[in-house]
Amino acid sequence: MSTFAIAGRELRSLFTTVTGWLVLTGYLFLTGFFWTAMASMYAMQSQDAIVSPYMAAQVDMTDYLVAPFFGNTAIVWLMFCPALSMRLFASERKDRTLELLLTAPVSTAEIVLGKFFGALGFVAVMLACTAHYPLLLMRWGNPDLGAFAAAYLGTLLLAGGLLAMGMLFSAFTESQVVAFVLTVAAGLTLWVFSWVGGGADSLASQIAIVTHAQDLFRGILRLSDIAYFIAFIGVFLFATHQRVESFRWS
């Protein structure tokens, strides 16, 4: 129960701080830009397809619009998730409010989960604000809604992974800026692993966080990808749990 209370407070506080609104506005601006660019491109490709039967067989809304859109906006999360996670523990320690949670009859796991789901809840709100894209497509086209659902799930898992990692960094410093920079740096490092040679099956590519989101963006639900994200999130939540426990011994 306390997990819900903590998550709720965390979510509400994002709506009362500049950071929250800045992230939401920035996200909607950037995704809006991406969407417009990609939808125009897709419209052009569709027109080409009218005169070319070969193209017509190729052009598919999921592959030519949904997947590239979510793939491109993924980079946005790399910047915005650290902005959401940086405050989770850093500000509590700086303002000495963590004492309230540590002396309340709640377990460390409840605190960590509450904070994680609070931040993830904000991501869900951000995603919900883009719901008009599939709705618009339904008005003028015939999108694969299953693919959209998979892409949203992929985004949520990707954001969850970045938030969990960012929360750990946030628990190691009282400075939100330090937590932000560390999270972006770590996220970027995990990202560029996918560029390291060896193809999609190489170890580096398998470690890279974005590789596992790529198929979900294309509407392909694979157990290995889901398992990767769940393990990724789990490891960082556990590490954060251990870190918060250690506050009692410092």
- Please report, as ranges, the residues that interact with other proteins according to CB under 8 A: 1-2, 5-6, 9, 12-13, 16-17, 95-107, 247-249
For the chain, how long is the longest CA-to-CA vector?
72
DSSP secondary structure string, 13-24?
HHHSSHHHHHHH
Nearer to other proteins, 4 or 195 (CB): 4
Instruction: Decide: 123 and 84 in contact? Cβ < 8 Å.
Output: yes
Q: How far apart (Å, rounded) are the C-alpha atoms in residues 122 and 111?
A: 17
Rounded to a whole number of angstroms, the minimum distance from the CB of residue 63 to other proteins is 44
Nearer to other proteins, 60 or 95 (CB): 95
Rounded to a whole number of angstroms, the minimum distance from the CB of residue 100 to other proteins is 4
Nearer to other proteins, 57 or 100 (CB): 100
Rounded to a whole number of angstroms, the minimum distance from the CB of residue 91 to other proteins is 10
Nearer to other proteins, 139 or 248 (CB): 248
Rounded to a whole number of angstroms, the minimum distance from the CB of residue 9 to other proteins is 5
Rounded to a whole number of angstroms, the minimum distance from the CB of residue 131 to other proteins is 28
H-assigned helices in the chain: 2-15, 18-51, 53-58, 61, 67-85, 87-94, 98-102, 108-128, 132-140, 145-170, 176-192, 203-207, 209-217, 223-246
Instruction: Decide: 88 and 10 in contact? Cβ < 8 Å.
Output: yes
Nearer to other proteins, 96 or 139 (CB): 96
